[in-house]
Amino acid sequence: MKKFLMITVATLGLGLVVAAPALKAETYEERYQAEKAKEERGDVKRDAKRDSEEAKREYRRDLQDNRVAAKDARIDSTRDARDAARDAKRDKELEKQAFRDATKKPLTAKQEAKRDYRLEKKAIKDERIDSVRDFRDAKRDANRDLELSRQARKDERIDAKRDAKDVKIDAKRAKEDEVHSKFEDALEARKAKRDEVFAEHGQ
C-alpha cells in the first residue's frame, strides 16, 4: 500500500513538472502579449485603487465640512438666542420706563443723565460683543483656511507622486513597445529573406 502511494505521488509530481512549462509563454510575441494583458489589468487595478482613495478622502472631508457647518449653525443659534433675550430684557426695561414717565412727574436732569448713561453702556456692550464675535469668527476662518491649504498641499503631493509613477510606467512601456516594433521589423525582414531564398530554389 505504501509503495502504491509513493508511486502515485511520484507520478503526479512528474506530471506537474512536465505540465509546468506548458503554462509558460514560449515565444517573444506570446510573452509580449501576456505582458500587455498584465499591464491592462494593472491599470484597471491602479485606477480603482486611486478612485477608492479619492472617494475615502472626499468622504472624510465631507464629514469635516458637515461638522464645521453644524458648529456654525450652533454658534449662530446661540448668538441669536442671546441677542433675543438681551433685546427682550431691554424692551421690558423701556416699557417700565415709559410707564413711569406716563404715570409720574417728569424726570430730573440727573435722572435723565442716568438713563442716558445706561443706554451708552448698553451700546458699548453691544460693540464689545460684536468685536469679540468678529475676532472669534476671523480666528475660526483662519484655522479653516489653514486646513484647506493643508488639504490642497496634500492633493498636490498625491498628484505629483501619481504623475511621477505614471511617467515611469509610460517610459517603461514605450521602451517595450519600441523593442516590439524592432522585433516585428526584424521578423518581417527574416521572413522576406526566407521567401527570397525559397523562391530561388523553386519552393
Instruction: List pLDDT tens digits, range 175-195.
Output: 999 999 999 999 999 999 898
Domain assignment present for residue 136? The answer is: yes
Contacts of 28 (CB under 8 A, 6+ apart): 183
Q: Is the pLDDT of residue 28 over 90?
A: no
Which pLDDT band, with edges at 50, 70 and 90, does 23 fall under? low
Backbone angles phi, psi at 117, to 5 degrees: -65, -40
- CB contact at 8 A, 180 and 35: no
Q: Which grid cell sits at 194?
A: 526566407
Is residue 122 included in any domain, yes or no? yes
Residue 9 has pLDDT above 50, yes or no: no
Does residue 130 sit within a domain? yes
Mean pLDDT of 165-179: 94
Cell of 128: 464689545
The amino acid occupying position 14 is L
Q: How confident is the model at residue 17 (pLDDT cuts 50, 70, 90)?
A: very low
In a domain, 167, yes or no: yes
Residue 89 lies in a domain: yes
Instruction: Taking residues 26-41, report their average pLDDT.
Output: 90
Mean pLDDT of 26-37: 89
Whole-number pLDDT of residue 203: 64
Asked whether residue 56 is assigned to any structural domain, the reply reads yes
Burial 158-175, CB ≥16 within 10 A → b, else e: eeeeeeeeeeeeeeeeee
**Residue 80, domain extent:** 28-200
50-109 residue pLDDT tens: 999 999 999 999 999 999 999 999 999 999 999 999 999 999 999 999 999 999 999 999
Residue 17 domain-assigned?
no
At position 77, the amino acid (one-letter code) is: S
Query: For residues 49 and 6, which has the higher predicted lDDT (pLDDT)?
Result: 49
Determine the pLDDT at residue 24: 58
Whether 88 is in a domain gets the answer yes
Model confidence over 110-163: pLDDT tens digits?
A: 999 999 999 999 999 999 999 999 999 999 999 999 999 999 999 999 999 999
Average pLDDT (43-54) is: 95
Q: Please count the structural domains in the chain.
A: 1
Which of 1-10, 38-47, 191-200 shows the lowest mean pLDDT across its residues? 1-10
- DSSP state string for 26-95: -SHHHHHHHHHHHHHHHHHHHHHHHHHHHHHHHHHHHHHHHHHHHHHHHHHHHHHHHHHHHHHHHHHHHH
pLDDT at position 145 is 96
pTM: 0.66
pLDDT at 10: 44
